C-alpha cells in the first residue's frame, strides 16, 4: 500500500498493511530555508514532496489557512524594526497594537506585545472582528492536490476556535484569564462577535479543496482546563466537526502539549483524529494509556515520536527503542497514526526521519 492508501484506510476504519507514518517537516524546512540550505520557494515546490518521498515520510501538514483576512473600516499600519514586526489597528472604538519578534536561534517568532491586553480594549477588538471579512485563497490547496499523489493527503486549516484564537494569538492565556475575571459580561459579548467572525472564516475553509481540515489549536491541558473547554471550546469544535464530516471530509485538532487533563473531552466532540500527540517521556501520558481516554468514540490518535527524538540529544538506540515501543501499541490498537509530536526541530537529523519507515516495516505490520 502507498502512504496515502494506508492513512485513508485507518481514517476510514478499514484495514491497512502497516501503521501509517506521517511526519510534520514544515518547521524543519523553514529552518533549512533560513540557513540557506534550501531555496525560498522550497515548501511550495515539487522538490518539497520529493524530499518527503526520499525520506519515506508521508505528507499532510503545510500550515496553510485557505483564506485571507480583509479588515475594513479600520486604519491598519504595519512596519518592521529589526527583528520586530509591528501592527497597529485604529478603530472608531479605540486602537490596538501588537509586536512579534523573530528569533534567529529558533527560526520562529513569538509575541512580545499582544493585540488584546485589557478589558478597555474589548470594544476595539469587537469592532475589528465585526469588520473583518474572509476571502478564499485556494491556490496552494489546488497545487497540493496536483503534487501530493500517493504520498499523502491535502490538509488545510480552519481558524482556531475563538477561545484558542485569543489564547494562542491575540491575547495570551494570562490576559484572557484576567479580562475574563475583570469583565465577564463584556468578555462574553465580545466572544459572541468573535465566534460569528470565525464561523465565516470556517465556511470559507470548508469550501476549499482540502480533504482534511484542522483546527490548529496548539492545545495543552495545563493551559486550558475542562471548565474553559466546556464553556468556550466544545460547541465550536462539535459544530464544525459535524459539518466537516457531512461534507465528506476529515476533521482534526492540533493538541501538542499535555494530554491527560483534556484528552477525554477532546475525544468526545466528533473529531476524526487528534494530531501531534506527545507521549512520555516528553509528554505527561504514556502511549499505553491513550486508548483508556478514548471512551466510546472512534477518534484516531496521531503522533507518538517527540520532536526532540529526531535530534542528537537522543542516541540512536533510544530512538529505536522508543519507536518500537510506540509501534507495539499502535499495531494492537489499530486506530493510531505514527507522527511527530509535534514537529521535527531545526537541529533534526534527516537520517532519523528516514529511519522511521525502516522501523515501521520491521515492527509496524498489522497482524
State the DSSP string of 293-347: GSTT---EEEEEEEGGGGSTTS-HHHHHHHHHHHHHHHHHH-SEEEEEES---TT
Largest CA distance in the chain: 64
- Domain end marker among 130, 146, 166: 130
- Domain end marker among 86, 110, 130: 130
Counted domains in the chain: 2
Residue 291 CB-half CA count within 13 A: 10
Same domain, 9 and 116: no
- Output the pTM of the full model: 0.97
Same domain, 145 and 195: yes
Same domain, 121 and 155: no
Give the closest residue to 166 by CA, choosing from 208, 205, 218, 202.
Answer: 218
Same domain, 213 and 256: yes
Going residue by residue through the chain, which has 367 residues, state the pLDDT in tens, using 9 for 90 and above. Answer: 999 999 999 999 999 999 999 999 999 999 999 999 999 999 999 999 999 999 999 999 877 999 999 999 999 999 999 999 999 999 999 999 999 999 999 999 999 999 999 999 999 999 999 999 999 999 999 999 999 999 999 999 999 999 999 999 999 999 999 999 999 999 999 999 999 999 999 999 999 999 999 999 999 999 999 999 999 999 999 999 999 999 999 999 999 999 999 999 999 999 999 999 999 999 999 999 999 999 999 999 999 999 999 999 999 999 999 999 999 999 999 999 999 999 999 999 999 999 999 999 999 999 8
Same domain, 120 and 146: no
Please classify residue 229 by burial: count the beta carbons closer than 10 Å to its beta carbon, then call 0-12 exposed, 13-18 middle and 19+ buried: buried
Please classify residue 250 by burial: count the beta carbons closer than 10 Å to its beta carbon, then call 0-12 exposed, 13-18 middle and 19+ buried: buried
Separation CA 94–CA 350 (nearest Å)? 49
Same domain, 95 and 220: no
Same domain, 65 and 82: no
With the C-alpha atoms ordered 142, 200, 275, 35, is the resulting torsion angle positive or negative?
positive
Same domain, 165 and 152: yes
Same domain, 120 and 145: no
Same domain, 114 and 253: no
- Domain end marker among 87, 105, 130: 130
Give the domain extent around 194: 3-69+136-363
Same domain, 119 and 172: no
Amino acid at each position: 500500500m502507498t502512504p496515502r492508501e494506508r492513512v485513508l484506510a485507518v481514517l476510514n476504519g478499514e484495514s491497512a498493511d502497516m501503521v501509517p507514518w506521517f511526519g510534520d517537516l514544515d518547521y524543519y524546512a523553514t529552518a533549512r530555508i533560513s540557513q540557506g540550505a534550501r531555496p525560498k520557494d522550497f515548501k511550495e515546490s515539487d522538490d518539497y514532496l520529493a524530499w518527503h518521498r526520499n525520506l519515506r515520510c508521508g505528507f499532510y501538514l503545510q500550515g496553510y489557512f485557505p483564506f485571507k483576512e480583509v479588515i475594513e473600516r479600520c486604519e491598519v499600519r504595519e512596519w518592521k524594526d529589526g527583528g520586530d514586526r509591528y501592527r497597529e489597528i485604529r478603530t472608531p472604538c479605540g486602537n490596538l497594537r501588537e509586536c512579534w519578534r523573530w528569533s534567529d536561534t529558533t527560526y520562529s517568532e513569538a509575541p512580545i506585545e499582544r493585540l488584546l491586553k485589557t478589558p478597555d480594549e474589548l470594544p476595539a477588538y469587537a469592532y475589528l472582528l465585526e469588520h473583518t471579512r474572509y476571502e478564499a485563497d485556494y491556490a496552494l490547496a489546488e497545487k497540493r492536490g496536483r503534487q501530493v499523489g500517493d504520498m499523502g493527503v491535502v490538509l488545510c486549516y480552519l481558524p482556531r476556535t475563538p477561545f484558542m484564537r485569543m489564547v494562542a494569538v491575540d491575547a495570551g492565556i494570562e490576559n484572557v484569564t484576567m479580562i475574563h475575571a475583570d469583565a465577564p459580561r463584556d468578555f462574553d459579548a465580545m466572544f459572541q462577535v468573535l465566534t460569528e467572525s470565525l464561523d465565516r472564516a470556517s465556511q470559507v475553509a470548508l469550501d476549499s479543496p482540502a480533504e482534511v481540515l484542522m483546527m490548529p489549536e496548539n492545545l495543552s491541558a495545563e493551559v486550558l482546563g475542562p471548565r474553559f473547554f466546556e464553556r468556550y471550546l466544545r460547541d465550536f469544535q462539535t459544530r464544525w466537526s459535524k459539518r466537516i464530516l457531512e461534507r465528506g471530509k476529515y476533521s482534526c485538532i492540533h493538541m501538542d502539549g499535555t494530554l491527560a487533563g483534556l484528552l477525554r473531552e477532546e475525544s468526545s466532540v466528533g473529531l476524526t483524529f487528534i494530531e501531534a500527540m506527545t507521549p512520555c517521556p516528553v509528554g505527561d501520558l504514556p502511549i499505553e494509556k491513550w486508548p483508556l481516554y478514548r471512551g466510546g468514540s472512534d477518534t484516531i490518535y496521531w503522533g507518538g515520536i517527540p520532536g526532540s527524538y529526531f535530534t542528537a540529544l537522543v542516541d540512536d538506540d533510544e530512538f529505536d527503542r522508543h519507536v518500537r515501543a510506540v509501534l507495539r501499541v499502535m499495531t494492537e490498537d489499530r486506530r493510531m497514526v505514527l507522527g511527530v509530536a509535534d514537529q521535527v526541530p531545526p537541529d533534526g537529523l534527516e537520517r532519523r526521519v528516514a529511519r522511521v519507515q525502516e522501523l515501521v516495516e520491521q515492527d509496524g505490520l498489522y497482524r
